[in-house]
């Protein structure tokens, strides 16, 4: 009986010893796990801190870049508006100038005349052909007494002369500007009927210039009222 009790006691002590050893192992494992958890938490917290710092830096950098983009865009828009304003101002000034020019052109009187019915029909060399009747004489620039057209408005004019000769007659006429021949025309008619001729010239003239028709040599015109005429008109200032 005593022997059994002793054996049981030994078994109990052995079991208690194992439990004590297991307790120490559990304590060591717990301490090791605590250390590992603390280390893991430390690393995680550091990573989170680094990530947060990076995000703050990125946010600040993006904010700076965004501000730069906004400022640059505002400057570009301001420059574009200033340029548009300048161009609009120039366009407005040019438009006003064009309007002023048009107003001046609109206020310029129309200048034109049509004269006919020559004063005589036989002419010596360099003699001026005087047309004594006018259908129109807008601007009163053609002189019925002298046969000269005196420019009141400078610009580009067109002048036309029509004349007629009878049987076996000749005529050599010229449109003259300030003493210089600008257009000439010659007829030498040998048949028994009548022949007509015309000449036209464009002349750019100054104010007070004079234009007339003259014979370049002895000439004879047909004695009809409307067969001989001298016409002029201002076409551009």
pLDDT in tens, 113-143: 999 999 999 999 999 999 999 999 999 999 9
Residue 16 pLDDT > 70: no
pLDDT in tens, 17-71: 777 766 777 767 777 777 877 777 777 777 877 777 777 877 777 777 777 777 7
- Cα(101)–Cα(91) distance, integer angstroms: 15
- 161 close to 173: Cβ distance less than 8 angstroms: yes
- Cα(25)–Cα(81) distance, integer angstroms: 82
The β-bridge partners of 150 are 210
Cα atoms found within 13 Å of the Cα of residue 187, Cβ hemisphere only: 24
- Cα(209)–Cα(189) distance, integer angstroms: 34
Taking CA 174 as the corner, what is the angle to CA 171 and CA 177, rounded to the nearest 5 degrees? 160
Which CATH code is given to the segment(s) 112-236? 2.60.120.40
Instruction: Band the pLDDT of 90: cuts 50, 70, 90.
Output: confident
Identify the burial level of 224 via C-beta atoms within 10 angstroms of its C-beta, where 0-12 means exposed, 13-18 middle and 19 or more buried. Answer: middle
Domain boundaries, the chain: 1-81, 112-236
Q: What is the pTM of this model?
A: 0.57
pLDDT in tens, 134-179: 999 999 999 999 999 999 999 999 999 999 998 889 999 999 999 9
Mean pLDDT score, 93-100: 80
Residue 106 pLDDT > 60: no
Instruction: Band the pLDDT of 87: cuts 50, 70, 90.
Output: confident
């Amino acid at each position: 009986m005593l022997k059994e009790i002793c054996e049981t006691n030994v078994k109990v002590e052995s079991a208690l010893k194992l439990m004590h050893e297991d307790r120490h192992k559990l304590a060591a494992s717990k301490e090791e796990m605590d250390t590992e958890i603390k280390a893991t938490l430390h690393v995680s917290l550091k990573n989170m801190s680094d990530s947060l710092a990076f995000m703050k830096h990125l946010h600040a950098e993006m904010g700076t870049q965004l501000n730069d983009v906004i400022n640059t865009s505002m400057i570009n828009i301001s420059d574009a508006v200033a340029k548009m304003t300048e161009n609009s101002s120039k366009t407005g000034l040019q438009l006003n100038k064009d309007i002023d020019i048009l107003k001046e052109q609109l206020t310029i009187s129309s200048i034109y005349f049509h004269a006919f019915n020559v004063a005589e029909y036989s002419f010596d060399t360099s003699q001026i052909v005087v047309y004594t009747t006018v259908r129109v004489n807008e601007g009163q620039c053609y002189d019925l007494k002298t046969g000269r057209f005196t420019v009141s408005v400078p610009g580009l004019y067109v002048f036309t002369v029509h004349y007629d000769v009878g049987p076996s007659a000749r005529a050599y006429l010229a449109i003259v500007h300030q003493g210089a021949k600008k257009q000439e025309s010659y007829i030498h008619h040998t048949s028994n009927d009548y022949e007509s001729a015309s000449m036209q010239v464009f002349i750019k003239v100054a104010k007070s210039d004079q234009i007339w028709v003259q014979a370049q040599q002895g000439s004879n015109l047909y004695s009809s009222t409307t067969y001989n005429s001298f016409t002029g008109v201002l076409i551009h200032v």
